[in-house]
Every structure is written in structure tokens, then in C-alpha cells.
Amino acid sequence: MIVKPMIRSNICINAHPAGCAKEVENQIAYVQSKNSSRKRTPGAPVSGGSFASSRPLKAVLVLGCSTGYGLASRIAASFGYGAATIGVSFEKEGSEATSGTPGWYNNLAFDRAAKKANIPSVTLNGDAFSDAVRAQVIEEAKKMGVQFDLVVYSLASPVRTDPDTGVLYKSVLKPFGKPFSGLTIDTMTGKLSVMSADPASEEEAAETIKVMGGEDWARWMKQLSAAGVLASGCTTVAYSYIGPAVSHAIYRDGTIGGAKKHLEKTARDMNAVLAKEIGGAAYVSVNKGLVTRSSAVIPIIPLYLSVLFKVMKEKGNHEGCIEQIERLYAERLYAGTAVPVDGEGLIRIDDWEMDPAVQAEVDKGMAALSSAGYDAIDDEHGGNLCDLAGYRHDFLAANGFDVAGVDYSADVPRMDVI
């Protein structure tokens, strides 16, 4: 069969197996290319489950390992530092005739590459919010004979079932106090429209914190510690986003932002506990805005990102997921110095995005697009103010489409392999 992208309301609902695999290979190649300039020698683990003691990362757990920043975290750990990994994600498997989720193909590609490089990896497909999956991870770590030097928390789910009560909670993307309206752009057509969101109720705000706050992260760390699978000095990091002032009403100051603030408080509380118990640390890393399944449907964000990409590419400091995480590891977490944080204790790897000079240029572009009254963005109308083509490429590539080196006219005989 010939596999083409199926897009509904800025969401791609299928994936290309070969394209997903190629994207994983590209990210691995990028990390490997940085090893020389960073003077890193990842090495491969020796037989018997022991690892070279000189490496800062020997074993890493990535919760939400299949796409975006989670996938990049796993690739950077294994191919930048030679670390064994356990990855957890909840993906739909492909069948012979129907597509799986992009993350399912990404996991297959990662495991294949890790095996070829003699780097241990175990991928678990299941609900990372459940105690059953926590038990599986602990069992696998003990079978591998490893303790985790790093635990990455990169889960992004709209729902979570509380393991203690069995209650299902649902998150919402809504502002507080009053409705929000913002200009957005259709990824494929360039059509501009206004998206609106009604204000959240107190119950919706509380449920969003239950899903996307720090409660589950803390539960993971508590159970891993009790099981003895955290190494001395273990670091844990979760990912967040703050973004520009233009998006704060719908994001940072809305329901999602409330959950992220709870995540940040959790990090501060856990940091004190881990430091006392194992000499460890907990951080939240605020990362750059990128194209994800979630960001594509947030009012104002797609248009903002298309302008941001143009500005940062012109300045030569645009980054994707793998560039961000490789820099996070090399220049923040494992730079051999104290981890730099801001006044709130946050790692700011979004520093290049939030540079005042960058934001000033983005503000100009956004204002020009908003005031021009265009119905759509194309080469003639507003195309010089944003990088819609770059945004569109990232959107498609996240699902295995528009990836250089892949023959999309070739027959895909099965959708359950890569």
C-alpha cells in the first residue's frame, strides 16, 4: 500500500513506518556527530551487566519515551553516553494493514539501533500512570542489574486513572476567569482562523493538576527508591514550557500552567528528599516550543511557532527536540559543574527562544500578520513573516512523513514492521 498522511483538524492520525524509523536514525546520527566536539566517548557496556564507571550515565529510565522530548532523551542517553535504558510509553501497535501510532514505530527503531550498538534497552508498552507498570519497570531493572542514574519524566496524556481510587481524571486546555481567543493557522493550507476557549471551572482545573501535575512523578520516584533501583546521586528531570506572553492567558496562566506549577513545586519538594536520601536531585527543565500533537491545537501557538522558527533560523540558533536535549545533558545536567537554574529553581534550556532580541522580532512578525487581515498565509501573503513550510515539515516528520531519504511512492507491504 502507499501510505499518505491523513490529517484532521491539525492532527495527523496515521504514521509512515519507514519515515519514523528514518527520523530516529537522523536523531541518533546527530548525537553521534556531537560526541566528537563534546569529547564524549560513549563506549558500549561490557558483558555481565557492568558499566564503565567513568560515564555519568549508565542506566536511564524514560517515562514517555516514544516521541518528542522523551524520545530525544532516550537517544541522547544511549548514543551520547552509552547508557542502558528502560522506556515506557502507551502506543497503539500497527497491524498488517493499519497504522500504529508514530511512537510505536519510533520505539521499534530505537530498540533495533540500540541492539545493533550493543546497548541494552527494554521498552514497555503500557499505562505509565499505573502501579502495575511501575512494578514491571522495577522488575526489569533488577533483571538487567542496573540502578537508574537518571529518571526522565516526559508524560503527556489527556487522562489519568488514580491508582489508589480508580477515579479517571481528564485534563483540559482552558483559561481562567474569561474566554480566550487567538489567531491560529491550519498547518497544511495556511488558512488563518480564530480559536476560542471558554474559562475553566474549579473542578476542571483540579482534574488537570491530577493528570499533568507532579503527583504521578512523585509516586514514581517514591516507589523506585523503595525498591532500591535508584543509584546514589540519581537525578530526575521533568519537562515544562512557559512560552511568550501572548500565550500566557491560555497556557501558563491557564489550566495547563496550573498543572506545570504543581509539577515545579513537586520538583522542589523531591529535590530536598532525594538530596537527603541518596545525594540526588530533582529538576524541571523549561524547554523550547516545538511542534507536537498537543501544541498544534493550542490557540495562537502554531502561528507563534511558525514566526519563531523563521526568526531563530535566521539567527542560526533554531533547535529541534534532539538538539535541545543533547544541549540539556551536555551543558546543564552533565557539564561537570553545578546545574544552572533560575530564581525559581528551573533549568532554562528555552534561553535562546526567550532571548529578548528573538522575542522582539517574533512580536513584530506576529503583529504584522495579525494586522494584515489575511485569510491565509502563502508565498504572496505573509510568507515572508513566518516559516510555515518549516512548521509543516516538522508536523509531518513527527509522523514519519516528509522525511528526506524516504521513498513515499514505494509500496509498504505491512504496517506492523519497520
Residues labelled as active-site residues: 251
Answer yes or no: are the C-beta atoms of 153 and 239 closer than 8 Å. yes
What are 410's three cell numbers?
514505494
Ligand-binding annotation for 337, yes or no, is no
- CA-closest candidate to residue 87, choices 11, 27, 153, 180: 153
3-state SS class at 5: coil
Rounded to 5°, angle at Cα 106 from 354 and 141: 95
For residue 320, give the DSSP letter: -
Ligand-binding annotation for 58, yes or no, is no
Ligand-binding annotation for 321, yes or no, is no
Ligand-binding annotation for 155, yes or no, is yes
For residue 281, the cross-strand partners are: 235
Ligand-binding annotation for 127, yes or no, is yes
Residue written as cell 523549561?
Answer: 286
CA–CA distance, 29 with 230 (Å, rounded to integer): 29
Ligand-binding annotation for 123, yes or no, is no
Q: Which residues, other chains included, contact 179 with Cβ-Cβ below 8 Å and sequence gap of 6+? A: 196, 197, 198, 199
Alpha-carbon dihedral angle through residues 159, 163, 164, 165, given to the nearest 10 degrees: 40
Ligand-binding annotation for 78, yes or no, is no
- CA-closest candidate to residue 171, choices 286, 61, 262: 262
Ligand-binding annotation for 128, yes or no, is yes
Ligand-binding annotation for 274, yes or no, is no
Strands 7-8 vs 11-12: parallel, antiparallel or unpaired? antiparallel
Strands 180-185 vs 192-197: parallel, antiparallel or unpaired? antiparallel
- Rg of the chain over Cα atoms, rounded to whole angstroms, equals 21
Ligand-binding annotation for 65, yes or no, is yes
Ligand-binding annotation for 260, yes or no, is yes
Ligand-binding annotation for 69, yes or no, is yes
Ligand-binding annotation for 241, yes or no, is yes
Ligand-binding annotation for 64, yes or no, is yes
CA–CA distance, 366 with 90 (Å, rounded to integer): 36
The neighbour count for residue 127, using CB atoms within 10 Å, is 16
Answer yes or no: are the C-beta atoms of 88 and 63 closer than 8 Å. yes
Ligand-binding annotation for 296, yes or no, is no
Binding residues: 64-69, 90-91, 127-128, 155-156, 241, 260, 290-292
Binding residues for NAD(+): 64-69, 90-91, 127-128, 155-156, 260, 290-292
